[in-house]
Structure 1
Amino acid sequence: MTTHGREAEVPPPAADRAPEPAGGGEPVCLLHLVCPDCGRLADERGARSCSRCGTPLPDSGP
């Protein structure tokens, strides 16, 4: 197929394209700052308990 003397650009098949980045959201590395009871995100990275309800936050790892 030609358009004004040039070949039309055909996008590559889906398997050949890089995945589209997900829109919005926080990175997974912040999950340890989400209160398991009320869902509030901690204000500080070093927080050990929820500032809203006082529930201890999950451990950040080993």
Structure 2
Amino acid sequence: MKTRAHDAEVPPPAADRGPEPAEGGEPACLLHLVCPDCGRLADERGARTCSRCGAPLPDSGP
């Protein structure tokens, strides 16, 4: 049986692909929430200082 070139580009039917990935969740990079002094991840997104050592977080400015 011969296959045509465009047959390889057609995605499988939805039933054969499996579940769709969930939307939302954490962003790919959380580096702006990591304390530069002790390495702890901030407890909240709007945090300006580290809850462990009190150092300012990178995105909080001077």
Bigger proportion of residues as strand: 1
Unaligned runs of 5+ in 1: 1-25
Q: How far, CA to CA, are the matches of 2:48 and 2:33 in structure 1?
A: 8
Give the ranges of 4+ consecutive aligned residues of structure 1 lying more than 3 Å apart after TM superposition: none
**Cα shift at 1:59:** 1.1
Q: How far, CA to CA, are the matches of 2:44 and 2:34 in structure 1?
A: 11
**TM-score of the superposed pair, with normalisation by structure 1:** 0.50
| Alignment match, 2:14 | none
**TM-score of the superposed pair, with normalisation by structure 2:** 0.50
Bigger proportion of residues as helix: 2
Unaligned runs of 5+ in 2: 1-26
Q: Percent identity?
A: 85
CA RMSD of aligned residues (A): 1.7
Q: How many residues align?
A: 34
